[in-house]
Amino acid sequence: MKKYALGCGALVVLLGVIVLVGGCGSYNRLVGSSQNVDAKWAQVQNQYQRRYDLIPNLVNTVQGAANFEKSTITEVTEARASVGQVKLDPNQAPNDAAQLEKFEKAQGQLGSALSRLLVVAERYPELKATQNFMGLQAELAGTENRIAVERMRFNEAVQTYNTSVKGFPMYVIARAFGFQVKPYFQSTQGAEAPPKVQFDFNKK
């Protein structure tokens, strides 16, 4: 009888150790996956910040063109200001879908305003002939491409993380330690490609 009791006790202890080790492993995987999402978010923020920083030079350049449409410049300036008002932690991905949606909407409006400004600029040959404008245009085009790539990588990291959070048995660990499902960037119409900002500088 005593041997039976000791055997049962050892089995319970063994099972407890297995559960503990498995729980620690699951917790560590969740931490690693969450940190990967944060790292991808930081890269997204870096590229958006790069675009944000390019705008003052771009605006100053187009303002130098005679009779350039002031309403277009104003639209870009106001859209940039709106982006600056949406404050998100650059190093930690948001858990609030509404917060991310607000950020994405402001960035989308800025991207649209920039696209319109560059379309208008095509009507000014003196702008397209300047090295400064061509350089800024090329930097902006490269930045838009990098934004699209980093958004895609972020969504992939979020998908991996969310799959872990929702799956069993990690779901139990996630609930116990406060791991929450993270929101994705949502695709909008035309968002499958970055804004077209290339010009034909050989046009007469």
Buried-state track 98-116, b at ≥16 Cβ within 10 A, e below 16: eebebbbebbbbbbebbbb
* Those residues with Cβ within 8 angstroms of residue 160's Cβ, 6 or more apart along the chain or in another chain: 33, 36
Q: Give residue 149's pLDDT band: very low, low, confident or very high (50, 70, 90).
A: very high
The token duo for 63 is 């303002």
Q: Tens digits of per-residue pLDDT, 128-145?
A: 788 899 999 999 999 999
pLDDT, tens digit, for every residue of 79-122?
999 999 998 998 899 999 999 999 999 999 999 999 999 999 88
33-to-12, 83, 159 alpha-carbon distances in Å: 31, 28, 10
How many C-beta neighbours within 10 Å does residue 30 have? 18
The residue extents of the domains of the chain are 54-204
